Amino acid sequence: MLLIPAAGGCFELSVDDELIYSKLQTGKFPDEDALIRAIEQRRARGLN
């Protein structure tokens, strides 16, 4: 698989139907570390 950067488009990340990140809302592509932290936080909430 090859990812080719382009202008526009959408990138949304959901965990268990909860939106974690939306490029459409922020207007920018997320930092990989920020995505990992957001996923870990969401998973931790789901375990409680």
In this predicted structure, the answer to whether residue 6 has a pLDDT above a threshold of 90 is no
What's the rounded Cα separation, in Å, for the pair 30 and 28?
Answer: 6
3-state SS class at 3: coil
Q: Considering the domain boundaries, does residue 39 fall inside one?
A: yes
Beta bridge partners of 14: 19
Domain count of the fold of the chain: 1
Please provide the average confidence, as pLDDT, over all residues in the chain.
83
Q: Considering the domain boundaries, does residue 33 fall inside one?
A: yes
Beta bridge partners of 22: 12
Per-residue CA distances from 14 to 18, 20, 47 (Å): 5, 5, 17
Q: Where residue 40 falls among pLDDT bands split at 50, 70, 90? A: very high
Q: What is the pTM of this model?
A: 0.66
Tell me the residue range of the domain where 40 lies.
Answer: 12-47
Q: What is the pLDDT of residue 3?
A: 61
Per residue in 15-39, pLDDT tens? 888 898 999 899 888 889 999 999 9
